[in-house]
Structure 1
Amino acid sequence: MAIDAATVRKVAKLARIAQAEDRLEPLAHELSGILDWIEMLNEVDTDGVEPMTSVVHQGLPMREDVVTDGGAPERVLANAPRAAKDFFVVPKVVE
């Protein structure tokens, strides 16, 4: 896919990136090369290849989902500027 200087100018304007006129043609050539390389990746046969999140196959660590009281509310609230009945007190933000 070939990109011309006019396309680079338009994209630069939309992205609000200032580019000098003498820089547009070399940038168009670079971007065309990148897009050509990306098009080459479309030629790779990926049928039967599962998507992977890591190169090492491993399961995600799971823990039992247990509801707790949070441990020790007095320790959690020890550094709070204000607390009442095991809750943080914050300024009202909605009238």
Structure 2
Amino acid sequence: MAVDDKMVARVAGLARLTLSAQEVPHLTAELNNILGWIDQLQAVETGDVQPMATVMPITRDWRADVVTDGAIQSDVLANAPEARHGFFAVPKVIE
């Protein structure tokens, strides 16, 4: 598919871009080059190529999923105005 000056001007208008008359031929040539590269890529036979997520294999070392209490109860309660029995002490709001 070839792009002409009229199509570039129309797409620029749809994109709310203001192009000067000198910019249109340059952009037409650039877009035609890009479309040429896409045609070259489409000509490549990729039927036997397996899909991949990355170019290089990535392995991650995962830590053990262990539930803990964080071992920082005393540090957290040190910030509280008042603490009782290992918990935040708050005023009673329900009678």
Q: Under a length normalisation based on structure 1, what TM-score does the superposition of the two structures give?
A: 0.61
**Aligned residue-pair number:** 79
- Residue 51 of structure 1 is matched in structure 2 by 51
Give 1:64 shift: 3.7
Larger Rg: 2
Q: Under a length normalisation based on structure 2, what TM-score does the superposition of the two structures give?
A: 0.61
Query: What is the identity percentage for the equivalent residue pairs of Structure 1 and Structure 2?
Result: 39
Q: Secondary structure at the match of 1:13?
A: helix
Q: Root-mean-square deviation (CA), in Å?
A: 2.8
Residues 40 and 64 from structure 1, CA distance in 2 versus in 1: closer, same or farther, beyond 3 angstroms? same
Deviates more, 1:15-24 or 1:32-41: 15-24
Q: How does 1:1-95 map to 2 (within 5 A)?
A: 1-69=1-69, 72=72, 74-75=75-76, 85=88
Instruction: Give the Cα–Cα distance (whole angstroms) in 2 for the partners of residues 46 and 4 of structure 1.
Output: 31
Extract unaligned runs of 5+ from structure 1.
Answer: 79-84, 86-95
